[in-house]
Structure 1
């Protein structure tokens, strides 16, 4: 985790343990807040994409980041777009596709 923290230039990588009915789910959470860290992550995930709905969530997050950096959020349209993106991610996602498989590793 130290290498990931250094690579992304973040302060903390948090270990998460979720107790499910039949198993324990282990995960790590990395929060990028600096523009440079977000740019590193976008570059990495463009070259080594996630799959399934995580790919779609990444795509929305990347668009969210672009709106934030370009300051489009200052307009009503930009703010509405951010709200739409946020309400389309993770457990709120209702639209799925197979685009992530187009870049499946060979």
Structure 2
């Protein structure tokens, strides 16, 4: 993020303040890929994955996550999150997440 802000500052000197304001506001409202994955986890996945509610594999259960990753594979896990399951709403409470965000979140929970 720091390098991104440096680029914006450099662009500001070249293009002017109003363009910079538009660029910066767009960056601040972009997908969670720009945000810290831990914050995204806390705002969405933690609701169930911290406690194991509704049978969710808990964050940090590396053996459980490894088994699930081996059984289903990452593409199927991402698909399950996107489409939802009986116990999990579509998107897993992260409506703005991309496929890459979901992969990062799954990896984060499995650590």
Structure with greater proportional helix content: 2
Structure with greater proportional strand content: 1
TM-score normalised according to structure 2 size: 0.25
Q: Which has the larger radius of gyration?
A: 2
TM-score normalised according to structure 1 size: 0.26
